[in-house]
Amino acid sequence: MAVKTWTKATLGAAALCGVLSMGAATANAAVFDFQQAGNTSAQPLGFSQGSISGTVTAQYSGPYAGSLTPVVTQNTYGLGVSTWYHENGEVDGAPGVETLLFEFDTKVRLNSVSFAKADDNGCVFGLCWDDDWTVKVDDVTVANDSQQNPFLFGGLSGIVASSFSVSANGWDDSWRVSQMDVSAVPLPAAAWFLLTALGGLFGTRWLKKGQTA
Ligand SMILES: [Ca+2]
Ligand SMILES: [Ca+2]
Ligand SMILES: [Ca+2]
Q: For residue range 53-82, what is the model confidence (pLDDT) as tens digits?
A: 999 999 999 999 999 999 999 999 999 999
Q: Which ligand is nearest to the CA of 77?
A: 3
Whole-number Å distance, alpha carbon 190 to ligand 2 midpoint, is 44
pLDDT value for 25: 45
Q: Which ligand is nearest to the CA of 130?
A: 2
User: Domain for residue 212, yes or no?
Assistant: no
User: Domain for residue 78, yes or no?
Assistant: yes
pLDDT value for 197: 73
Q: Which ligand is nearest to the CA of 170?
A: 2
Whole-number Å distance, alpha carbon 169 to ligand 2 midpoint, is 7
Question: How many CA atoms, within 13 angstroms, populate the side-chain half-sphere of residue 11?
Answer: 6
CATH code assigned at 116: 2.60.120
H helix and E strand count, the chain? 2, 15
User: Domain for residue 209, yes or no?
Assistant: no
Number of compact structural domains in the chain:
1
pLDDT value for 49: 96
Whole-angstrom distance, CA of residue 156 vs CA of residue 141: 18
User: Domain for residue 206, yes or no?
Assistant: no
For 58, the domain range is 28-185
Which element (helix H / strand E) includes 7?
helix 2-27
pLDDT value for 113: 98
Q: Strand 174-184 vs strand 91-92: parallel, antiparallel, or unpaired? A: antiparallel
* Residue pLDDT, tens place only, 86-135: 899 999 999 999 999 999 999 999 999 999 999 776 788 888 788 999 99
Mark the residues whose beta carbon lies below 5 A from ion ligand 3: 117, 120, 131, 174-175
What Rg do the C-alpha atoms of the chain give, in angstroms?
A: 23
Whole-number Å distance, alpha carbon 82 to ligand 1 midpoint, is 4
Whole-number Å distance, alpha carbon 128 to ligand 2 midpoint, is 9
Whole-number Å distance, alpha carbon 149 to ligand 1 midpoint, is 20
